[in-house]
Amino acid sequence: MKKLLIGLLLIVGLGAGALFSGLANPLVEWQVKGALVESGIGEKRAACMAERMVDRLTIGQLWKLRQGMAAQEGEPEEGYGLGELVKRLRRVNDGEAVAVLTTSAGLCAIGLG
């Protein structure tokens, strides 16, 4: 039992170290890109946005964006308009995360990202 607990603590410690040191950034970026593509953004733009977002936001902020932007009961999964997008962005309740998301979308759309 003691060995199992030490092993689990070691794994958690290594995972936390990888996240804080940036070694896990490619994995996190891949997850963010996948979520963006899943929401209807093209591959190339999603890759650009994911790179910027992972560099500028914490894991917690990325998680809040993912949860806040997800469709809730009664909301459309895709093909929604600007009003629905604004409603979902307000739900995130993190100004910095929303600013990074929107500026990343804009800069990547015009090829400056």
Which tokens belong to 92? Answer: 């995130």
Average pLDDT, the chain: 79
For the entire predicted model, the pTM comes to 0.69
Give me the number of domains the chain comprises. Answer: 1
Which tokens belong to 11? Answer: 């794994």
Nearest CA-CA partner of 41 in 91, 97, 102, 84: 102
Q: What is the pLDDT of residues 20-44, one digit of tens each?
A: 656 556 788 888 888 888 777 889 9
- The answer to the question of residue 69 being in a domain is yes
| DSSP conformational letter for 8 | H
Q: What is the pLDDT of residues 47-56, one digit of tens each?
A: 998 999 999 9
Burial of 51 (0-12, 13-18, 19+ CB in 10 A): middle
- The answer to the question of residue 6 being in a domain is no
- The answer to the question of residue 3 being in a domain is no
Residue 75: CB atoms within 10 Å:
11
